[in-house]
Structure 1
Amino acid sequence: MTLDPRLHHLLHEVTLGSAVARSLGIRLDRILDNGVVLAMPFKPATISFADVIHGGTIATLIDIAAASAFVAGAHPTLKGGATTNMTVHFLAAARSTDLFAEASVVRRGRVQTVTDVAVTTPAGQLIAKGIVTNQGFS
């Protein structure tokens, strides 16, 4: 999928280029027809207890994945956006592992997008599910 240059800038320089995304090492794995897949390498600094990655780190990955899917399919006049709602269900502990977040747009409206995000390990174990609503502004 080829992105409009403006959306490419928003995706790579603003969303994935944010300080939090960079500090977590989050990168674009691939753009899908209706979403994106992001990858986040394991970092010992994200552990909350024993070898378990902190839930806030996983929620941040979900938020950035949904925002990336929102931007990747947006109208080229998009100037920015914000997360207006996010629900996360933690399903298993992520233990010292890299993570992937596959974000699929469920509904894209005129100004809002609802995205389903699945966080998995490289082996395919489902760690968390999120539903995120993003609001755009032009």
Structure 2
Amino acid sequence: MVGDHPTPGPGLREHFAEFPFHRYLGLTIDEARPGFARICLQTSERTLGGIGNSVHGGVLAALVDIAMLQALFPLFGPGDEASGTADLNITYMRPAMGERIYAEATVLKKGRQQAVTEVSIIDEQGRLCAKGRTIYAIRQRT
């Protein structure tokens, strides 16, 4: 880890809980392997604020970004350098309610300059609450 930013590579999962924002939200990693990650949000009063006391939409968007990184970074090779999220969109389908909300990220394609991921936000009953898609920018070390 460099400063407050994740460093791509195999040690990323071990450092997940060191990030203050992850702790603040109450996030844990349920599963992570190259190209896929499932993170869990333990809901609390700080994550609520949506319709009907559901999880706030901004928190769900943050879950999309965080889950994407957990799926993508293990795929980085020696010449790849993290450049940042270039695009993130989210479609909300139903209020995310319950004690736990899950974000499942799948890398659809990783190239030399960008990666595309898809993230499903799912409630405890397995219902799809939101769908996110990201483009992550990658630089090549010279």
Interval containing the TM-score (normalised by the shorter chain) = 0.7 to 0.9
Residue equivalent to 2:5? none
What are the ranges of 5 or more consecutive residues in structure 2 without an aligned counterpart?
1-7
Residue equivalent to 1:37? 38
Quick one: distance in 1 between partners of 2:111 and 2:97? 37
Quick one: distance in 2 between partners of 1:35 and 1:64? 12
Preserved contact between residue 26 and residue 39 of structure 1 (Cα < 8 Å): yes
- Which range moves more in the overlay, 122-131 or 90-99? 90-99
Q: Over aligned residues, Cα RMSD in angstroms? A: 2.2
Matches within 5 A, 1:1-138: 7-13=9-15, 17-32=18-33, 34-49=35-50, 50-137=52-139, 138=141
Q: 3-state DSSP class of the match of 1:53? A: coil
In the TM superposition, residue 94 of structure 1 has moved relative to its aligned partner by 1.2
What are the ranges of 5 or more consecutive residues in structure 1 without an aligned counterpart?
1-5
Q: 3-state DSSP class of the match of 2:49? A: strand
Q: TM-score, with normalisation over the residues of structure 2?
A: 0.82
Q: 3-state DSSP class of the match of 2:9? A: helix
Percent identical: 25
In the TM superposition, residue 33 of structure 1 has moved relative to its aligned partner by 5.2
Q: 3-state DSSP class of the match of 1:28? A: strand
Q: 3-state DSSP class of the match of 2:70? A: helix
For these two proteins, the number of residue pairs brought into alignment is 133
